[in-house]
Amino acid sequence: MKQVVSLLALCITALLSVWLVTESQKKSGVIDAIEARRSIRAYKDTPVEREKLQLLAECGVLAPSAMNRQEWEVRIVDSKEWIDGCSAAYLKAVEGTGKADYLLKPGFKNIFRNATALIFVAAPEGAFSGENIGFLGQNIMLAATELGLGTCCLGSVRMMLAEPALADYLRSLNFSDGYTLSYALAVGYPDESPEAKPRDKSKIQWVE
């Protein structure tokens, strides 16, 4: 009887060891999101729920920052009137210059890659401002992927909202003095499923 119990215990231990190894090899939700994230440039008309947009912004400000200064400001825009009005003002301001040609494709709806929501990010001048808001943006994009949303980082908004004709739209974001708009994240329900672009893993090297 003792031999049977010992054998059973040994079998259970072996099975548990196999299970633990298998579990340790499984990817976490974060790794899944990293591998699944794409820059989305086609969105459905379906509005993104405000609860999800708020959650994305809160995930963003959970990012690390130099000396925990949290020197960033985040503004969420989901107003179709604001987005359409800003688009129209920009197109009128740059008419004939070719600046918006890359956006004017079949199915064009707005200059923000047709997204139904935008998350604007601003930061002050500082040694680590770029790094800080980079961490913040990546948090948001990965959280969006997990929620089934698409995103695209739009650095071009700095130039767009710098047009004098769009001054009121920039002002409406109400950033604090000393803070400068850095980028916006287009957010929406994806209307495309692009393949991952190749990554050059030779950039990774070990130093012995």
The verdict on residue 1 lying in a domain is no
Query: Count of domains in the chain?
Result: 1
In this prediction the pTM is 0.85
pLDDT of residue 25: 44
Q: How far is CA 47 from the centre of its chain?
A: 17
The verdict on residue 18 lying in a domain is no
Q: CATH number for the domain including 102?
A: 3.40.109.10
pLDDT one-digit tens code per residue, 126-164: 889 999 999 999 999 999 999 999 999 999 999 999 999
The verdict on residue 115 lying in a domain is yes
Listed in order, strand segments (DSSP E) in the chain are 73-77, 117-124, 150-154, 179-188
Which class for 33: exposed (0-12), middle (13-18), buried (19 or more C-beta within 10 A)? middle
Assess whether pLDDT exceeds 80 at residue 114.
yes
| Full domain range(s) for residue 41 | 33-188
Q: Who's near 189: CB < 8 A, 6+ residues apart?
A: 43, 44, 46, 48, 116, 148, 149, 150
Average model confidence (pLDDT) across the chain: 90
Assess whether pLDDT exceeds 70 at residue 74.
yes
